[in-house]
Structure formats: structure tokens, C-alpha cells
Amino acid sequence: MSLLAITREVSPSITNCEVSFQARDPIDVAKAIAQHQAYEECLAEASLEVVSLPAEPDLPDSVFVEDAAVVFDEIAVVPNMGAVSRRPEAQILAKTLKHYRRLTFLAEPATLDGGDVLRAGRRIFVGLSQRTNRAGFEQLRDWLTAYDYDVRPVEVKACLHLKSACSYLGNNTMLANRDWVEPGALSGFHLLDVPESEPAGANVLLINDLLIMPASFPRTRALLEERGYRVRAVDVSELQKAEAGVTCCSLIFDHMEDHAPQPRSS
């Protein structure tokens, strides 16, 4: 198996993106495109096979492919996304994912964004946020428990997604902003707190032993490096104006040549 990263080019209409927790700031589209290309190069340099999909001009947020699906070794779950304007993204992405995984679909009244789903081994945390409701959590849980995943809800506040508030660093450790996430739901993990001056710094992307993170959080980077993590910082400043992080711009999973595992018998 090898790691595959699905990405999508920046939409020319990204300036019309959904914004929920920060003031709208004009986005330089050309700069956003260049930053995204550098991000893809970073993934390739980390030995990922990058599959870059074409831009969707009518879908401003479509560069954020992580929200439009949740992929496991066994299945890919296509959600009913929390923002109505974004729901076509999931249906379009499913056309690509069907070549890699068996698909299953969440149904109303469930809403779920992939940015609210955090994996730490066989434990899956699902953020209850403005984009993901309890029905979304319950439907995802029902699908995944058949494959022996432990799926747990986490209350999210003051930010867009669970992964805006915390990320898994490996070795039973989470990088977290405790003001944005219910820390009790993460019991059993060591919580590494982001600096108070960088509340949005908790979104990092773990690839093998490398952490990819935004260049705009130098104190968080220093904190991680002091603790022995290998860090690569990338400039995603224009994408951050759309409430983006480094996880949401790619959908990363094992490229399995054989058929995916089957669910356990009941």
C-alpha cells in the first residue's frame, strides 16, 4: 500500500466561499492558486501520490476536499454536508472515490463535514459543530462500528470544525485548543496546548513522522519542534481567509490494490 492524496484545484469563485467564524477578507485568487500548488508539491515531497482534480468554477469551497468525504480502509462515507451550498461537492467527489473504495452515503436528517472527523488509530472522534449534527455522528458511528471502530462525539464551539480545534500527533498525543473543544471527550490522550496567541494553530497534518502546518503559526511550530517533532511549514495565508487549514485541502488514505476489508459478522 502507498498513501494517496486527492486534491482539487482552487475554484476561481473562492472569493464567494462560506465564512462562519471570521470576518470576510478579500482573497487573492492567483496567490491562493500558487499556495495550493506549493501545498501539493509538499505532499508529493512527503512521498504521497497526488491526484489533483480540476477546479469546480461554480463551487467556491470545493478546494477543501476533506469535507466532502471520509475515507477508511474499508469504505468511503459520502456525507450530507452541513452547508447546503457545498453539498454538490460530495456528489462530484464520489465519482472519483468509487475507483478506490466501496461507497456509502449518509442521509437526512444527518449533516456531516469531513473536517469534523478525527482519526487516532481505531478511535474516531466526530465533532458536533455547526456543520455536523448528532444524526450525522450516529449514522457514521453505525457504519463504522461494523468494522470495529470506536466512534465518539465531541462538542465543538467557537470554530468551524473539530480539526480546527485539535489534531492527532501520533503517540497518543493531541494538539488542541481547549477553548474550542470539550477536552473531557479526549480523555486518555495527552493534550498539548497551542499558544494562547495562536488559537487556530491546532490544525496540523500528520504524514508518517512529518507534521505539515501553516507558516502563520511560528510559536506553535516552535512548541512542536521543541518536543522533537519534524515540522514542515507551508504558506496557506490566502486559503486561511476561507477558514481553511492544512488538513482540509487534501483527502489522504491508503491506496489499496486489493479489495477493502469486509465488515465483521453480527
Those residues with Cβ within 8 angstroms of residue 261's Cβ, 6 or more apart along the chain or in another chain = 73, 74, 147
Q: How far apart are CA 129 and CA 67, in angstroms?
A: 13
Annotated catalytic residue within 36, 161, 166, 249? 161
Structural contact between residues 224 and 211, judged by C-beta atoms closer than 8 angstroms:
yes
Length of the chain: 266
Lowest pLDDT segment from 189-198, 220-229, 256-265:
256-265
Q: Round the average pLDDT of the chain to a whole number and report it.
A: 96
Q: Which sequence spans correspond to the domains of the chain? A: 2-255
**pTM, whole model, 2 decimals?**
0.95
pLDDT attached to residue 256 = 80
Q: How far apart are CA 10 and CA 38, in angstroms?
A: 12
pLDDT attached to residue 260 = 55
pLDDT attached to residue 266 = 45
- Model confidence at 163: pLDDT above 80: yes
pLDDT digits (tens, 9 = 90+) for 48-58: 999 999 999 99
CATH 3.40.50.1110 fits 2-255, yes or no: no
Q: Which residue has the cell 504558506?
A: 235
Q: How far apart are CA 240 and CA 16, in angstroms?
A: 14
pLDDT attached to residue 224 = 98
pLDDT digits (tens, 9 = 90+) for 106-146: 999 999 999 999 999 999 999 999 999 999 999 999 999 99
Annotated catalytic residue within 17, 42, 248, 249? 248
Q: What is the grid cell recorded at 3? A: 498513501
Asked if 255 is an active-site residue, the reply is no
- Model confidence at 1: pLDDT above 80: no
Those residues with Cβ within 8 angstroms of residue 209's Cβ, 6 or more apart along the chain or in another chain = 170, 230
Asked if 259 is an active-site residue, the reply is no
The DSSP result for 39-71, as a single string, is HHHHHHHTT-EEEEEPP-TT-TTTT-GGGG-EE
pLDDT digits (tens, 9 = 90+) for 187-212: 999 999 999 999 999 999 999 999 99
